Structure 1
C-alpha cells in the first residue's frame, strides 16, 4: 500500500508519497506499474515543424514535456504529479506575492517541505534515469562516502590542478572551489581536511539529454521552491554552477553539432552551425575545421563555448576581427522558468534573445542549442617571445620594454590582432613576461613582422634583446591548438579579479601613464597578471545585444591574481583577499572610471557589479529577468537579479559562501 502526507507548497496542496511501488502511471494509451523497469520517461515526441526554430531541432529537442503528457499522468494515487506540472498562469500573481515575501529562503534538506526520497525516486523515473546524487569528485580520497580508493585518489591528486578535462566530465566539480567551501579536495592540497562533505555542491544533478528532462527539473524545482543551478563545465570564476542543497541541471551531454551550409535568418545568408549547449571549444573548433570554416569561441580548450561562456559575452582570439562570441548568435532554443520550450531570435521572443546574448548564464533560462555564424577558413600567424630581467636586461629596461609594447595596443587591435601575455614577479628586482601568443588572424608571417617591426626596433633602442618565434598556419584550428594548452583548475589558494581598460586611456598620455603605473604597481607588490590586448568593436560592426558596453571601448582585458599557501592562516588569506579587492583592484577602477569588467573572469565581490558587468544595459536586463523569471527560479552569484538575494554564511568574512542557504533580502 501507499501512504501520503499532505503539505502546502506555495499555493498548492500536495500529497507526497511514502513509497512509489504498487502505483500505476498512465503514459500515452498504456497504464503501467510505477517502477524503473516499466515506466517510460515522461516525454512526448514533438514534430519539429511545429516549432518556431529556424534550424531543425536536435533529437533531444523534439523530446519534450507537454500538457498532454502531464494530463496522462493521472493515476489517482499519484496526486503529487502536480510537482512536475507547468507554471499555473491563473495563480501567478498570488503565487508570486507569496514567494517574494522578504526573508523567504529556498527549500533545503533540513526543511519540512524537502522532498521524500521516494519523491526523488519518482522524479528519476519520470526523467527516464539521469538523476545523480552528488558524490564529490575527490571523495575517493576519504572514507566519508565509503568509496575510498588510494589509486583513484592518487590519480585525482596528480591531475587536480593541471587537467581541467577530467573535472569537466564530472557532474558537479567546478573551478572556483574556494567559494564552494573547499569541502572535498585531495588531502595533499588541503592538509587540514579530514573528511569529505557535499558542502556547497548541489544535492542532486540531472544529466540532461533531452528537453523533457530540463522541463521536469525546472517544474519540480519551481513548484517545491528548490534552488536551481546550471552547470556545463564549471569554468566560471564566481562559482555560478554550485549551491548547497540545489538541483543542478547538467547540460554537458548536449553535444550535437549540425553544419548549416546555407543558413538564412533575418538579413543573414551564409554558413552557420547549430551546436548543443554542452559543446566545448575543442569540439566546436574540430567541427569548423572539418567543414573548412572558422567560428568564434574561447581560447580555453575545455570551456563550454555554447554555455555560460557565450551567454556572458565570450571573448575570443578572433574578437578584434569578428567581435564577441555572443555577437555571432542567430537563434537559440531555450527552456524558460515556466518550463516551456521556446525559440529565441529576432522574431520570436526578441527581448529574451537580446538578453541571452551577453546578459549572463543561469539567469533567464536553460539554453539547449545555439545557431552561430561561421566564417571562411582563415590563416593565422603567431609570435612568441620571453622578456625577463637578467644579466642583459635590468629592472628599468624590463619595464621600459613593457611600456613600449603597451604603447601600440590600439594599432594592434585595429589590425585585428590579439595578444595573450603574462607578467609576474619572480623575486626581488626580478620580473618575467611571456608573450604566449601574439595571435594574428588573417596575416602571414611577413605581414605580422611588418606590424611588430616598430616594437622590436624600440626594444633594440632600449638595449633589450628578445628572440621572437613566428609560426604560420593555414587554419585557425591548428594555430589555436598549438598555442593554448589545457587550462589549470580548482585551486582554493587563489583569488582573481579583472578590468576592461578603455581605448580612451591610450588616447591621452596622462591616462596611459596612470594606467601603466597601476599595472606595474600590482606586479611589483606580488600580483600575477594575465592580460589580453583585445578589442570587441570590429570594423564590420556588431549587433544590438546585452554584451557589456564596456567591451566596445576596450583595448585591454587584464586579470590579476593573488595567491597564498595551502598552509596559510585564515588571517593571511583574508589579508591577501582584501588587498585584491580593496587595494589593487581599486587602483585599476580609479584609472578607468565608468569602464567595467568581464563577468566570467571577475572579482567575486566586485563592489558595483551591476555597472561593472552590465553597464547601461542593466535596467533593461532586470526588467526582462522579472518578466521571464518572476519566481526567481534561476539564481547565480552576481547575475542579473542576484542583488535581491543573499547567502547565510561568509568565507573570510566577506565572500558569500555557496555552502549556505540562499534567501531573499529583507
Structure 2
C-alpha cells in the first residue's frame, strides 16, 4: 500500500501544465525528495509538430505525449506502481487473467481501488469521467432526478442524435447494452437506472498522452477497453460492462493543405482529428472550395469507426470508400506507443486500419485524407405508393423497373438512397430520398431517368419528381439528409451487399428481386442504397471488404416490434431477421458480404461476410499488433477469440456481461 500512496503523493504534483519550483519537496516512502522539473515531470511532455514520418505536421493534441523520459522521471522517484502506466507489461496481464481468463471487472479482487482511479485522473489532468448514464435524470438512482430534463430526453431521445453523440457514453445500439437506463416512457416498465453495460469510466481525450495513459493502464490492469467517438455503430462497439472508454469526440482539429505531397499523391488534402463529424468536415471542405468523401449521416464520426470500417458515401460511386481516401494516420497502438502509419511507414498496420474496423488495432488520433475539386450536384425525390389508383402489383412492377437500372446509374456516378415499407393491408410505400447525382446538371439527370419515368407511365403510375440543382456538395448534402433515428429499444438491423453479377444474370436478378420483395411483404423494413464502390480511377489495396468492389446495392433490413409487447414477440422478430429474412438474401448472393458498421449483430460467419478473402491477413495483423487482446469489439477482427458471459433473447451477446477468453 505504501507504494500506491507514494504514487498518489507524486501524482498530486503532476496535473498537466503544473510548474514546480526548485525549492519544493515531496515525501515518498518516508523519504524527503526534491520536486522540480528535473525530478517530477508532468504526465506528458511537448513534442515538436514535425516529429512524424508523414508530410503533415502533428496536430496540437498530438504534440502532447507520454514518453519514456516522463516515466523515467517517475521511476527515479522509486514509485514502484508506475508500472501501471508503463508501455509494455504483458506479464502483468497474464497474472491478472490467470484465474478466470476474463477481463477485470468491478467487484473482482483485482479491480483497481479508488486511489488508483484518483491517481489516473491526476495524471490525465482531470479528464476522467465516472459514468452517469444519459437518462439518469429520469430516476433517483444517481441523485440527479430532474423531471424537466427527463421530459426533454424523452421527447428527443429518438430523433436528436447530436444530444447523444455529445455524451461520453451514450450509444445508438441500446438493445445490446442491456437497456439499463432509458427514459421509462420509452422503455416501458423501467423502474431503475444502472451503469449496466456502459463503461465504468471514460476519458475525455484532449491529447495523445491521455490516450497512452488509458491504453497502458487498461493493458497492465487487464481492464476492458473501448473507444467512442459518436456511438453510431449498429453493433455497440463503443460500450461494454466494466470498461474504460477512450472518448475521442473532442479531437476536432481540421487543417487544410492546398498542395499536399505525399508518396505519389499531389493535390488538396485535410488532416483531421479523430473526433471530426460529417457536418464539420463538410462545412470545412465547402469553405475551402473542395469536396471530401464522407457519410450521409449528419453526426457520424467521419474520422472514427466510420472510415476505419470502410465508410460508404454518397460519393462512393465516383471515388470509392472513405478508407480509400486516407493517405496517413496517427495512432496509439496496444503497447501505448504513438506511431505514424502510411503506405511507407508501418504499411501493414496502415493496410489493416483502412477498413479493418474500429476498436481493433489501435486508437487513431488523426488522419490525412484526399480532397477533390468542388462539384455540382443535382438531387431527385419522388414517391411510389399504393392507393386507389395504384395496386400492389403496379407498385412492385415500378420498383422492379427502378432496380433494373442499378448498373447504369452507378456507372454514371449516381447514388440512390431509398426506403421500402409494408404499410399493412396490402399497401406499400417507397420514397426516394434522395437520388444523388454528383457532377450532373438537372438536364443530365432528367435524361438519365427519362426511360425510368416512361416505364412508370406504362405501368400506370403517375410520379411527380422534384429536381434540385446545387453548385456544391455541401448544400446538396445538408438539404437532403436529415438527422436519423437513434436509440430504439425495439429494433434490430442487418445488411447485405448485393453484387453486380446478380443484375447481369436475368435468373439471378429475378431471384434477388423476389427475395427482397418477399421480405418486405412479410414485414421487413428496408433502407437501401444503389451504390458501387468500384471507381473508374481504381482504389488502393487495403482491408476494405472486397464485396464492396462488386456491389451495386447495399440493403439494410430492419425488424421492429412493440416495445411494450412480450419478450417472446421480441425474440421472434429478432430471430426472423437473422435466420429467415437475411438468409433469403444470403441465399441469392452466396460468397458476397455485408457492411460491418451496419450489420447483423450475430451475422453468421462474420469473418467472411465483413472481410471475405482479406480476413486471414487482417487476423494475422491483429495478433501482431495486439497480441494481448487489449482492443475488443463485437464482430471485430479477432473477436471470435472472446465470448460474453450472458445473452439477450437467448442468442445476442450482452455487453452488460463479462468478456472472457474462449
- Aligned counterparts of 2:611 and 2:216: Cα–Cα separation in 1: 29
Kindly tell me: are residues 23 and 271 of structure 1, through their superposed partners in 2, closer, same or farther at Cα, counting changes over 3 Å? closer
- Aligned counterparts of 2:7 and 2:323: Cα–Cα separation in 1: 47
Matching residue of 1:342: 339
Aligned to 2:8, which of 11, 20, 27?
20
Matching residue of 2:55: 54
Whether 1:387 and 2:375 are equivalent positions in the alignment is no
Whether 1:180 and 2:177 are equivalent positions in the alignment is yes
Aligned to 2:355, which of 354, 358, 373?
358
Check whether the contact 2:127–2:204 (CA below 8 A) recurs between aligned residues.
yes
Aligned 1:458-607 pairs, distance under 5 A: 458-607=455-604
**1:214-249 Cα shifts (integer Å, max 9, x gaps):** 000000000000000000000000000000000000
CA drift of 1:40 comes to 7.7
- Aligned counterparts of 2:501 and 2:99: Cα–Cα separation in 1: 43
Kindly tell me: are residues 52 and 19 of structure 1, through their superposed partners in 2, closer, same or farther at Cα, counting changes over 3 Å? closer
Considering only aligned residues, what root-mean-square deviation do their CA atoms show, in Å? Answer: 1.9
Check whether the contact 1:25–1:32 (CA below 8 A) recurs between aligned residues.
no
Aligned 1:86-165 pairs, distance under 5 A: 86-88=87-89, 104-165=101-162
Matched pairs, number: 647
SS of equivalent residue, structure 2 residue 302: coil
SS of equivalent residue, structure 2 residue 418: strand
- Aligned counterparts of 1:45 and 1:97: Cα–Cα separation in 2: 33
SS of equivalent residue, structure 2 residue 330: strand
Kindly tell me: are residues 190 and 151 of structure 1, through their superposed partners in 2, closer, same or farther at Cα, counting changes over 3 Å? same
For structure 1, the residue ranges without an aligned partner over 5 or more in a row are 5-14
- Aligned counterparts of 2:110 and 2:19: Cα–Cα separation in 1: 31
- Aligned counterparts of 1:303 and 1:419: Cα–Cα separation in 2: 19
**1:301-338 Cα shifts (integer Å, max 9, x gaps):** 00000000000000000000000000000000000000
Matching residue of 1:8: none
CA drift of 1:251 comes to 0.3
- Aligned counterparts of 1:49 and 1:182: Cα–Cα separation in 2: 46
Q: Is 67-76 or 236-245 further displaced after alignment? A: 67-76
- Aligned counterparts of 1:118 and 1:40: Cα–Cα separation in 2: 20
CA drift of 1:53 comes to 2.6
SS of equivalent residue, structure 1 residue 50: coil
Check whether the contact 2:84–2:221 (CA below 8 A) recurs between aligned residues.
yes
Aligned to 1:623, which of 620, 624, 640?
620
Whether 1:219 and 2:216 are equivalent positions in the alignment is yes
Matching residue of 1:44: 45
Kindly tell me: are residues 239 and 493 of structure 1, through their superposed partners in 2, closer, same or farther at Cα, counting changes over 3 Å? same
Matching residue of 2:75: 74
CA drift of 1:34 comes to 10
SS of equivalent residue, structure 1 residue 49: coil
SS of equivalent residue, structure 2 residue 8: coil
Whether 1:253 and 2:241 are equivalent positions in the alignment is no
Aligned to 1:378, which of 375, 391, 403?
375
- Aligned counterparts of 1:338 and 1:267: Cα–Cα separation in 2: 31
Check whether the contact 2:96–2:221 (CA below 8 A) recurs between aligned residues.
no
Check whether the contact 1:102–1:664 (CA below 8 A) recurs between aligned residues.
no
Check whether the contact 1:16–1:116 (CA below 8 A) recurs between aligned residues.
no
SS of equivalent residue, structure 1 residue 556: strand
CA drift of 1:75 comes to 6.6
Whether 1:236 and 2:233 are equivalent positions in the alignment is yes
CA drift of 1:17 comes to 3.9
Aligned to 1:417, which of 401, 409, 414?
414
Check whether the contact 2:308–2:354 (CA below 8 A) recurs between aligned residues.
yes
Kindly tell me: are residues 102 and 610 of structure 1, through their superposed partners in 2, closer, same or farther at Cα, counting changes over 3 Å? farther
SS of equivalent residue, structure 1 residue 620: helix
CA drift of 1:41 comes to 4.6
- Aligned counterparts of 1:224 and 1:297: Cα–Cα separation in 2: 37
Q: Is 502-511 or 101-110 further displaced after alignment? A: 101-110
Matching residue of 2:643: 646
Aligned to 1:198, which of 171, 187, 195?
195
- Aligned counterparts of 1:47 and 1:99: Cα–Cα separation in 2: 37
- Aligned counterparts of 2:568 and 2:76: Cα–Cα separation in 1: 59
Kindly tell me: are residues 659 and 219 of structure 1, through their superposed partners in 2, closer, same or farther at Cα, counting changes over 3 Å? same
For structure 2, the residue ranges without an aligned partner over 5 or more in a row are 29-36
CA drift of 1:23 comes to 7.3
CA drift of 1:566 comes to 1.3
CA drift of 1:120 comes to 0.2
- Aligned counterparts of 1:170 and 1:576: Cα–Cα separation in 2: 30
SS of equivalent residue, structure 2 residue 339: strand
Kindly tell me: are residues 41 and 18 of structure 1, through their superposed partners in 2, closer, same or farther at Cα, counting changes over 3 Å? closer
CA drift of 1:374 comes to 0.2
Check whether the contact 1:99–1:631 (CA below 8 A) recurs between aligned residues.
no
CA drift of 1:74 comes to 3.4
**1:278-318 Cα shifts (integer Å, max 9, x gaps):** 00000000000000000000000000000000000000000
- Aligned counterparts of 2:298 and 2:610: Cα–Cα separation in 1: 24
Kindly tell me: are residues 32 and 296 of structure 1, through their superposed partners in 2, closer, same or farther at Cα, counting changes over 3 Å? farther
CA drift of 1:52 comes to 1.4
Matching residue of 1:297: 294
Matching residue of 1:10: none
Kindly tell me: are residues 290 and 424 of structure 1, through their superposed partners in 2, closer, same or farther at Cα, counting changes over 3 Å? same
